[in-house]
Structure 1
Amino acid sequence: MTATAPLLSVDDLEVEFKGRGGKRFQALKGVSLDIRPGETVGLVGESGSGKTTIGRAILGLVPPSAGRITFDGRDITRAGAAERRSLAKDIQVVFQDPYTSLNPSMTIADILAEPLLIQGWTRNDAHGRVRDLLDRVHLPSDASSRLPREFSGGQRQRIAIARSIALEPRLIICDEPVSALDLTTQARVLDLLVELQESTGAAYLFVSHDLGVVRHISHRVTVLFHGDIVEQGDVDQVTARPEHPYTQRLFMSAPVADVAEQRARREQRRQLAAQGEK
């Protein structure tokens, strides 16, 4: 990637949640990252690392307790409802579960047209755009009259992706978008995301627990552990030659086809975990 000004900057972001008995839990502890136009930054970590919280803070779904979020030079850290509606044209999201992210009572045409109509498109123009969107995610045009339950998980995620690009956003938050899919379908959806990025120029923040998946799609990678960034860098460096013990454990957790290598990785992972507990 060439050096350009960041599209999104997250600076010293902190997020706290209230737990049982009023006890405070700090989910993010001064996290900083940036995403350039047309770039994919992979955000990887295990459950509880805080990776999804970053995406939710960018979307305005959780309030930061400290820090700053800047989009295209504009401070959106505490953007109000009206500003968030305006930002929807530029920042979209693909959620993890394609079975629950689509309204089961709406046709695919209505699901895809909804964000367009909210932004003031005419119904005729919106439905023309729906046909284009279905073509771009490689679904037949007759899919528009059907309901979400008539599609497989991979097809539903394609519909969710089509919805996310309907307004031609500049940034898409991809929150574990392939984790609910089988391996073959995962690869196809990842290839689709790469294809769409090449044609639209959108930037992605790609959230995942799987270092192998992140390697497939990202330009740079940020590794999160218990709300702290422990490693950042170029995708080849972080996913093939990780330096931090936690990233090395994630690397060793990735499945491989060779049984002997898988056994060796399992033993290395056990040793790294034991070292971390000392």
Structure 2
Amino acid sequence: MTDSLLTVDGLQVEYPGRGFRAQPFRAVKGVSFDIRPGETVGLVGESGSGKTTIGRAILGLAPVSAGTVTFKGEDISHPTKQRRRELTRDIQVVYQDPYSSLNPSLTIGDSLAEPMIVRKTPKREAQERVRELLDMVRLPADAADRMPREFSGGQRQRVAIARALALDPTLIICDEPVSALDLSTQARVLELFLEIQERTGVAYLFISHDLAVVREMSHRVAVLLHGELVEWGDGDTVTSQPEHPYTQRLLLASPVPDPVAQEQRRADRLRLKQLHADQDLQAGAA
């Protein structure tokens, strides 16, 4: 088995409670998984499940109260500000909103060159790299001289992907990177992610609430519920034959084009939800 690129072991993230004597809020509760080089791990769950918090903890932006995050054999659970900046060469992120992830006052070329210039890359070399990046994400070379407002949402997300690739990272955290896009644009951007992975060997932590998107992208899948890992395993198995009731509900929530089948899925999902609610009520009473 290939050694892991990233290992998350027993991760807990807590935030101070609101108000006097309030108990801390534990957003992530002992989560463990790993990512191998060149692999995509899908992290799926509904809003509030803790999936984005895990991504932030890996980036050093959320407080790790217990457990460890290990990258290339190094514990990065509590990086200094300097070490966190250094890690951006190897760990990058693509956010959900392509409109806010780019500086509106910089040209596309300047946005792409900025992380290289910060690291003292010669200007000519940075400009050549910008042209390579634009070609990699299928944007014309003259895009470098244009402003973000001149592009559609899908094109801006391509620019955001190019920026994440600028320093040749080995891991990219993709935090709901297609949820703000329409379905046809989503498909093209997902295809681009797959092509880039095949070309560069980069690994992805692909965070999404959509099990269908995660199934398309992921080699292995982790399912989160209220900050806990409830299912973890092979992507095809978890997304087609899930064992945990919560994952089964997520699967039934994914739309299908057949109206009759969709109606049946909706009924099955409601029945399953009610069954689990009754079980939880009985367990609480016991």
Shorter-chain TM range is: over 0.9
State the AA in 2 paired with 1:79: P
Rounded to whole Å, the distance in 1 between the matches of 2:221 and 2:15 is 26
Aligned match of 1:6: 4
> 1:61 aligns to what SS in structure 2?
coil
Rounded to whole Å, the distance in 2 between the matches of 1:34 and 1:120 is 33
What are the residue-to-residue correspondences of 1:102-117 with 2, within 5 Å? 102-117=102-117
Aligned match of 1:48: 48
User: Aligned-pair RMSD on alpha carbons?
Assistant: 0.7
Bigger radius of gyration among the two: 2
State the AA in 2 paired with 1:13: L
The Cα of 1:23 is off from its aligned counterpart by 3.5
> 1:193 aligns to what SS in structure 2?
helix
Rounded to whole Å, the distance in 2 between the matches of 1:60 and 1:213 is 26
- For residues 42-83 of structure 1, what are the alpha-carbon distances to aligned partners after superposition, in whole Å with 9 as ceiling and x for unaligned? 000000000000000000011111110000001101010111
Aligned match of 1:30: 30
Could you list the runs of 5+ residues in structure 1 that have no partner in the other structure?
A: none
118-127 or 246-255, which deviates more: 118-127
Rounded to whole Å, the distance in 2 between the matches of 1:23 and 1:146 is 50
Aligned match of 1:180: 180
Aligned match of 1:90: 90
Alignment length (residue pairs): 276
State the AA in 2 paired with 1:16: E
Rounded to whole Å, the distance in 2 between the matches of 1:133 and 1:61 is 27
State the AA in 1 paired with 2:4: P
Rounded to whole Å, the distance in 2 between the matches of 1:128 and 1:40 is 29
Quote the sequence identity (%).
Answer: 64
The Cα of 1:13 is off from its aligned counterpart by 0.4
Aligned match of 2:64: 64
Aligned match of 1:99: 99
The Cα of 1:190 is off from its aligned counterpart by 0.4
> 2:64 aligns to what SS in structure 1?
coil
The Cα of 1:124 is off from its aligned counterpart by 1.5
> 1:106 aligns to what SS in structure 2?
coil
The Cα of 1:19 is off from its aligned counterpart by 3.5
Rounded to whole Å, the distance in 1 between the matches of 2:87 and 2:176 is 22
| Aligned pair partner of 2:17 in 19, 22, 25 | 19
> 1:20 aligns to what SS in structure 2?
coil
The Cα of 1:37 is off from its aligned counterpart by 0.1
Q: Are the aligned partners of 2:214 and 2:221 in contact in 1 as well (CA < 8 Å)?
A: yes
State the AA in 2 paired with 1:268: D
Aligned match of 1:212: 212
State the AA in 1 paired with 2:96: Q
Aligned match of 1:250: 250
Rounded to whole Å, the distance in 1 between the matches of 2:17 and 2:182 is 34
Rounded to whole Å, the distance in 2 between the matches of 1:75 and 1:19 is 27
Rounded to whole Å, the distance in 2 between the matches of 1:224 and 1:214 is 13
The Cα of 1:84 is off from its aligned counterpart by 1.2
Q: Are the aligned partners of 2:249 and 2:269 in contact in 1 as well (CA < 8 Å)?
A: yes
Q: Are the aligned partners of 2:8 and 2:34 in contact in 1 as well (CA < 8 Å)?
A: yes
Rounded to whole Å, the distance in 2 between the matches of 1:273 and 1:77 is 36
Rounded to whole Å, the distance in 1 between the matches of 2:69 and 2:77 is 5
> 2:144 aligns to what SS in structure 1?
helix
Rounded to whole Å, the distance in 2 between the matches of 1:10 and 1:89 is 20
State the AA in 1 paired with 2:107: T
- For residues 133-186 of structure 1, what are the alpha-carbon distances to aligned partners after superposition, in whole Å with 9 as ceiling and x for unaligned? 000000000000111110000000000000001111000000000000000000
What are the residue-to-residue correspondences of 1:152-191 with 2, within 5 Å? 152-191=152-191
The Cα of 1:18 is off from its aligned counterpart by 2.2
Rounded to whole Å, the distance in 2 between the matches of 1:120 and 1:248 is 50
> 2:179 aligns to what SS in structure 1?
coil
The Cα of 1:272 is off from its aligned counterpart by 1.1
Could you list the runs of 5+ residues in structure 2 that have no partner in the other structure?
A: 279-286
TM-score, normalized by length of structure 1? 0.98
> 2:79 aligns to what SS in structure 1?
coil
Q: Are the aligned partners of 2:15 and 2:63 in contact in 1 as well (CA < 8 Å)?
A: no
What are the residue-to-residue correspondences of 1:119-268 with 2, within 5 Å? 119-268=119-268
State the AA in 1 paired with 2:3: A
State the AA in 2 paired with 1:20: R
TM-score, normalized by length of structure 2? 0.95
Q: Are the aligned partners of 2:164 and 2:172 in contact in 1 as well (CA < 8 Å)?
A: yes
Rounded to whole Å, the distance in 1 between the matches of 2:73 and 2:18 is 38
